[in-house]
Amino acid sequence: SLPFGGVKESGFGRFAGIEGLRACCLVKSVVEDRWWPLIKTTIPKPIQYPVSANGFEFQQSLVVALYGLNVTDRLRALVEVIKTLTEPTNRNKKRRD
């Protein structure tokens, strides 16, 4: 009944080699704008944290505007996207179903 590898209780290589080392690490993702002086990417206001009350409607309309089945659905959804971007919302108000 020996361990699967590693030296004593070091943990490195005990289970699946490199994965034993990764278990001791905190993996983080760092994202940067590639063309930072030319292009700035921003998150739209309705879905910035804290998410506004119309954030769900914004995302739903955006998906239909991009992937709608016909042109009329896409145009209608695009109007909804613009409406949710321009209308003022109370960020403290929670959405209720």
Per-residue pLDDT of the chain (97 residues; tens, 9 = 90+): 444 555 555 544 456 566 666 777 887 888 777 776 777 778 888 888 888 888 899 999 999 999 999 999 999 999 999 998 888 765 545 555 5
Chain-centroid distance of CA 67 in Å reads 19
Q: Amino acid identity of 23?
A: A
Give domain limits for the chain: 1-30, 32-86
Please state, in angstroms and as integers, the Cα–Cα distance from residue 32 to each residue in 29, 40, 92, following that order.
10, 10, 30
Please state, in angstroms and as integers, the Cα–Cα distance from residue 90 to each residue in 46, 72, 76, following that order.
10, 30, 24
Predicted local distance difference test score (pLDDT) of residue 49:
83
